[in-house]
């Protein structure tokens, strides 16, 4: 009489084969589902592009968005470095705010001058009706080619801005200022009439409409804004900007600019020391600061930036009060070094190139 003996090894082999088959089946099913998803996605993308146009939807890996973003120099080397991309980003909303006489308009005029140097077209919507063309000319703005509008109402200003952006031909558009964008209802109303939240609603509606057009046109839209004080604030900063919260959210870059001191030549005040803080930046790390000189009737001092950044990065040697570049003595004291660079443009450009290379920036 023979007895059946179970072979544990053969049983394990059978279960292993069954597991492998199950895995293969699941893998084939997953591949089938993936292929079906791909086809469904391709169909959806083609329908979206057919309805809304090419580029209305895309893969981030297909086209770099943040990398190599085009920029316009601010005219300040230190601020370009702080912004992380060599200037303000194109195709984005930028807010520049600060107290009165802090250098807001000077900075925007300097940006316009830099854009024009590259052959760009610039527009200035002067809602404050206070643009000084002779000052703009001294800073380096080509006023003959500058598009200027002085609208009567906030709605008119923002409609003009929308038309210019949608044309796709303007590289930089400045709106000066948000506080001066007065709604039509307020202008036509009587003095003392309450118009709660009208300007905030106007800004919110305009930015909703403008944002997609700004991105497609590659226009850098700069809003200059003023500071107001909130009443009854016990803790935290009482400062706020005008025009509601919409601009804070829609802006890719927000620059807080402040005057920190005076620049004197003898007893005469010839300029102001200015600090700019990047309080918001969607294209590079935020919260960086830059300090630069604004010289009256000539704008931002490039030489001052070169001396400061060059000595900080080790490109310019500083021994006591003396500044030197290689074997070349630049001068004793910061102002003397600035004067030397002003009179020697070849050395100035050579140092600037080294600074740009050091910070991986292009100009």
Q: Per-residue DSSP letters for 124-153?
A: EEETTS---HHHHHHHT--TTT-EEE--SS
In the predicted model, what is the mean pLDDT of the chain? 87
What pLDDT does residue 360 have?
85
Q: Which fold has domain 71-300?
A: Rossmann fold (3.40.50)
* Mean of pLDDT values over 312-323: 92
Query: How far is the C-alpha of 125 from the C-alpha of 329, rounded, in Å?
Result: 45
Question: Residues annotated as binding site for ATP?
Answer: 98-105
Question: Residues annotated as binding site?
Answer: 98-105
Residue 193 has pLDDT above 70, yes or no: no
* Mean of pLDDT values over 318-340: 92
- For the 301-362 domain, the top CATH level (class) is alpha beta
Element (H, E) at 17: helix 8-52
Residue intervals in the chain for CATH 3.40.50.300? 71-300
**pTM of model > 0.85:** no
What pLDDT does residue 277 have?
97
CA-based end-to-end distance of the chain: 97
Residue intervals in the chain for CATH 3.30.250.10? 301-362
* Mean of pLDDT values over 47-59: 74
Lowest mean pLDDT among 42-51, 61-70, 150-159, 224-233: 61-70
Residue 42 has pLDDT above 50, yes or no: yes
* Mean of pLDDT values over 7-11: 58
* Mean of pLDDT values over 257-276: 93
Residue 62 has pLDDT above 90, yes or no: no
Residue 191 has pLDDT above 80, yes or no: no
Residue 17 has pLDDT above 80, yes or no: no
**How much of the chain, in percent, has pLDDT values that exceed 70?**
86
In 349-362, which positions are buried (b, 16+ CB within 10 angstroms) versus exposed (e)? eebbebbbeeeebe
Residue bearing the bigger pLDDT, 234 or 5: 234
User: What is the token pair recorded at 188?
Assistant: 């036509």
What pLDDT does residue 35 have?
82
């Amino acid at each position: 009489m023979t007895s059946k003996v179970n072979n544990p090894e053969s049983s394990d082999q059978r279960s292993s084969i069954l597991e492998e088959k199950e895995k293969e089946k699941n893998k084939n099913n997953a591949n089938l589902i993936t292929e079906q998803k791909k086809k469904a996605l391709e169909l959806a993308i083609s329908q979206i592009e057919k309805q809304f146009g090419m580029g209305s939807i895309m893969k981030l890996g297909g086209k770099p968005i943040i990398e190599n973003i085009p920029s316009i120099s601010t005219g300040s080397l230190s601020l370009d470095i702080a912004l992380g991309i060599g200037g303000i980003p194109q195709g984005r909303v930028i807010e520049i705010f600060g107290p009165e006489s802090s250098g807001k308009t000077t900075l925007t005029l300097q940006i316009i001058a830099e854009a024009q140097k590259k052959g760009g077209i610039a527009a200035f919507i002067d809602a404050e009706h206070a643009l000084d063309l002779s000052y703009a000319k001294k800073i380096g703005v080509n006023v003959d080619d500058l598009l200027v509008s002085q609208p009567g109402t906030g709605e008119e200003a923002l409609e003009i801005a929308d038309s210019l952006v949608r044309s796709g031909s303007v590289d930089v558009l400045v709106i000066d200022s948000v506080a001066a964008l007065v709604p039509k209802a307020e202008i036509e109303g009587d003095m003392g009439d309450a118009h709660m939240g009208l300007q905030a609603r106007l800004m919110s509606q305009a930015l909703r409409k403008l944002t997609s057009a700004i991105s497609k046109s590659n226009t850098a839209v700069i809003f200059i804004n003023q500071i107001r004080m909130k009443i009854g604030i016990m803790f935290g900063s009482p400062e706020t900007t005008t025009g509601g919260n919409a601009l804070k959210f829609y802006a890719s870059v927000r620059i807080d600019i402040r005057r920190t001191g005076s620049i004197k030549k003898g007893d005469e005040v010839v300029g102001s020391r200015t600090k700019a803080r990047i309080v918001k930046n969607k294209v590079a790390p935020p919260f960086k600061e830059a300090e630069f000189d604004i010289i009256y009737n000539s704008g931002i001092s490039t030489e001052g930036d070169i001396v400061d950044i060059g000595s900080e990065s080790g490109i310019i040697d500083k021994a006591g009060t003396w500044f030197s570049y290689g074997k070349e003595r630049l001068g004793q004291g910061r102002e003397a070094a600035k004067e030397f660079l002003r009179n020697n443009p070849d050395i100035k450009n050579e140092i600037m190139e080294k600074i740009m290379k050091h910070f991986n920036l292009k100009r």
